[in-house]
Amino acid sequence: MRICALYSGGKDSCYALHWAVLHGFEVAGLVTLKPRSWDSMLLHYPAAELVKLHSEALGIPLLYREVGGGDEYGEIVEALREARERFRCSGLVTGALLSDYQRLRFSMACLEAGMRIYSPLWRKNQEEYMRWLVRDGFRILVVSVQAYGLPAWLAGSVLDEELVEEVIRLSRLYGFNPAFEGGEAETLVLDAPLFRSRLRVKGRRVRLAPYHTVYLIEDAWLEAK
């Protein structure tokens, strides 16, 4: 079956794409919908423009749109209709983990666009999922932290097994979601099993509020593996 992937460049959408390929789907295109501000309840904001490099690294064409001009949901539906026609696909894979609001809104948008939806990560164990990511070869940069209990230095760090265990420990102590599904942090994938080249970045850490620190990416490029 030909599908496209709702793709932000973060860990969840990248792992969902990985799942789709492993399960025999033909991923014909990436669909990136970047909101115009941080406060979107549906879409990933930081570093989303770097998916253009991901598209090149994966060898999968990209449909990139900025949305949120007043009717974000309507713009999502229109973008999915465009993706269905451009990529000749009948389904969409998403990285939805836990949010009922997110899953239901995207399910409705797919229904209106005439597409099936696949959410392979839905309700998976959040702690085990984070462990799977690093063990399966995903290099994940934390580009934003915005929750009490997450240290500012985590922004700009690349997750490894030790750091994942520290995040899990802190999540149990402070009560946030260990997979960041509540918006506690945002991520950018630097390398993954399906990447033909790896993403390299340079940037700096910027504190925006007492519990909100971002890693501001100032340069990014692809490097051969």
CATH of the domain at 196: 3.90.1490.10
Spatial contact of 154 and 145, defined as CB atoms under 8 Å apart = yes
Residues 35 and 59 in one domain: yes
Residues 73 and 131 in one domain: no
157 lies in which domain range?
A: 126-224
Residues 59 and 140 in one domain: no
Residues 47 and 86 in one domain: yes
- Count of beta carbons in the 10 Å neighbourhood of residue 170: 18
pLDDT tens digits, the chain, 225 residues: what are they?
Answer: 899 999 999 999 999 999 999 999 999 999 998 876 655 556 655 677 899 999 999 999 999 988 876 788 888 899 999 999 999 999 999 998 877 777 888 899 999 999 999 999 998 999 999 999 999 999 999 999 999 999 999 999 999 999 999 999 999 999 999 999 878 999 999 999 999 999 999 999 999 999 999 999 999 999 999
The number of folded domains in the chain is 2
Q: Which residues of 116-132 are buried (b: 16+ CB within 10 A; e: fewer)?
A: ebbbbbeeeebbebbee
Spatial contact of 91 and 1, defined as CB atoms under 8 Å apart = yes
pTM for the whole thing? Answer: 0.93
User: What six digits make up the tokens of 178?
Assistant: 């260990």
Residues 10 and 82 in one domain: yes
Residues 88 and 57 in one domain: yes
CATH of the domain at 106: 3.40.50.620
Residues 17 and 96 in one domain: yes
